[in-house]
């Protein structure tokens, strides 16, 4: 009997791996807006914003970006200083890099930070440093699922998890999300963000190409969203009604940039409504270019549609002040050209989004908010791939 169970498990893992890898990484043609440096005040970016009683000093968010500078999963003093520099530079809300759950199969990079109990004193120091510099900070909760390419392989005897998990495995993952959120709260984080984007575990359940289940977790988009809604509900039960919960999602996947999880506004509503009902307080609509219209026949972006359909606050993200695609610059030695912020200001004025997340620009320029506020866009340093090799 034991041999049969192990064979079934291996078969499930292999099927997940094949489904995740059916498409090669694909780059699609890109047309960029010709941004000019802003000629008007950037003050709209610096208006306070309140989420569930938590007041942010401005509308600028540091986007979560994997750094892998935490040996043994514990953030170092250098990591704390890295986040503090962004807070001192004027960022209002920092979202940490993806942080592994206290679960053995959540991810396999030994230098990605974890939210296990052993790491909480170090995380408390990170939080204290950020708060002392005047910013707020969320922890991003991350389970990579089957998407382990590009990083260290799983240790011998361990297999990554995907949508073919058993019910017992699903229950353990849900509990791990709850524990991670409770640990984040105990460490002093101001909220948490669930990583449900880019083809990682929760997104593998969302996507019909990787989720071929026929039970309550498969089939319809509502069913494929069930794991995520159960994760949100579990976290809410652990942190209480007042603690902010964010949710990051994307249409694109790392293995297919052109795919759309929702092909129409109606499908997007069907995806977002259960998450909203489960307790998401703010959505983070991850796009590669924040200004792109999402659906044919409308100028609304993914962030704007999300805000319209859910009534919840939204973070927009994607190539802010850099006129080169985010994923392409991670793979190239070319510098990303610096652009202006008029499109960001336009989006805020049109109430398409509430907050704007900055990624690569904050890696290259820890004081990005101060430079933008003073109109010194000409002092912004272009991003290059070498920015990923240090905790500037």
The catalytic residue positions are 200
Which parts of the chain are beta strand (E)?
49-51, 54-56, 60-62, 93-100, 136-142, 191-195, 245-250, 282-286, 314-317, 355-358
Who contacts 226 (Cβ-Cβ below 8 Å, separation ≥6)? Answer: 205, 216, 217, 274
Task: Select from 239, 147, 137 the least CA-distant residue to 196.
Answer: 147
DSSP per residue, 238-251: HH-TTS-EEEEEES
Who contacts 5 (Cβ-Cβ below 8 Å, separation ≥6)? Answer: none
Look at strands 191-195 and 136-142 and give their pairing: parallel
Task: Select from 322, 195, 193, 303 the least CA-distant residue to 254.
Answer: 195
Instruction: Give, in degrees to the nearest 5, the angle at Cα 127 between 88 and 287.
Output: 75
**How far is Cα 296 from Cα 272, in angstroms, rounded to an integer?**
19
Yes or no: say if 332 and 30 are a contact pair by the CB < 8 Å rule. Answer: no
**How far is Cα 325 from Cα 323, in angstroms, rounded to an integer?**
7
Give, in order, the Cα–Cα distances in Å from 224 to each of 208, 229, 246: 8, 10, 19
Q: Which residue has the tokens 């659906």?
A: 295
DSSP per residue, 35-61: -----S--GGGGS-EEETTEEESSSEE
Strand partners, 285: 249, 316
* Chain length of the chain: 392
């Amino acid at each position: 009997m034991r041999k049969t169970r192990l064979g079934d498990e291996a078969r499930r893992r292999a099927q997940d791996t094949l489904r995740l890898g059916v498409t090669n990484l694909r780059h699609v043609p890109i047309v960029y807006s010709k941004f000019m440096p802003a000629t008007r005040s950037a003050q709209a970016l610096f208006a306070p914003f309140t989420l569930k009683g938590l007041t942010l000093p401005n509308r600028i968010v540091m986007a979560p970006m994997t750094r892998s500078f935490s040996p043994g999963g514990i953030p170092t003093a250098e990591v704390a200083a890295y986040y503090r520099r962004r807070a001192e530079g004027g960022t209002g809300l920092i979202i940490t890099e993806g942080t592994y759950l206290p679960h053995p199969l959540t991810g396999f990079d030994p230098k990605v930070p974890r939210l296990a109990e052993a790491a909480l004193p170090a995380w408390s120091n990170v939080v204290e440093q950020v708060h002392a510099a005047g910013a707020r900070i969320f922890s991003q909760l991350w389970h990579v699922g089957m998407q382990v390419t590009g990083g260290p392989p799983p240790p011998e005897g361990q297999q990554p998890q995907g949508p073919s998990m058993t019910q017992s495995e699903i229950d353990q993952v849900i509990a791990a999300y709850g524990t991670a959120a409770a640990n984040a709260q105990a460490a002093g984080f101001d909220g948490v963000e669930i990583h449900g984007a880019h083809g990682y575990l929760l997104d593998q359940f969302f996507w019909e190409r990787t989720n071929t289940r026929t039970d309550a977790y498969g089939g319809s988009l509502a069913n494929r969203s069930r794991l995520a809604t159960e994760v949100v509900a579990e976290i809410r039960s652990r942190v209480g009604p007042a603690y902010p919960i964010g949710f990051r999602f994307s249409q694109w996947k790392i293995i297919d940039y052109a795919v759309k999880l929702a092909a129409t506004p109606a499908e997007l509503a069907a995806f977002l409504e259960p998450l909203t009902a489960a307790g998401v307080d703010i959505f983070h609509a991850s796009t590669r270019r924040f200004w792109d219209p999402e659906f044919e026949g409308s100028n609304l972006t993914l962030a704007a549609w999300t805000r319209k359909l859910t009534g919840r606050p939204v973070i927009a993200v994607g190539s802010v002040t850099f006129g080169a695609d985010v994923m392409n610059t991670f793979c190239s030695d070319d510098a990303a050209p610096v652009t202006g912020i008029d499109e960001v200001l336009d989006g805020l004025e049109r109430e398409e989004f509430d907050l704007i997340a900055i990624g690569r620009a904050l890696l290259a320029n820890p004081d990005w908010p101060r430079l933008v506020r003073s109109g010194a866009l000409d002092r912004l340093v272009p991003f290059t791939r070498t920015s990923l090799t240090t905790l500037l």
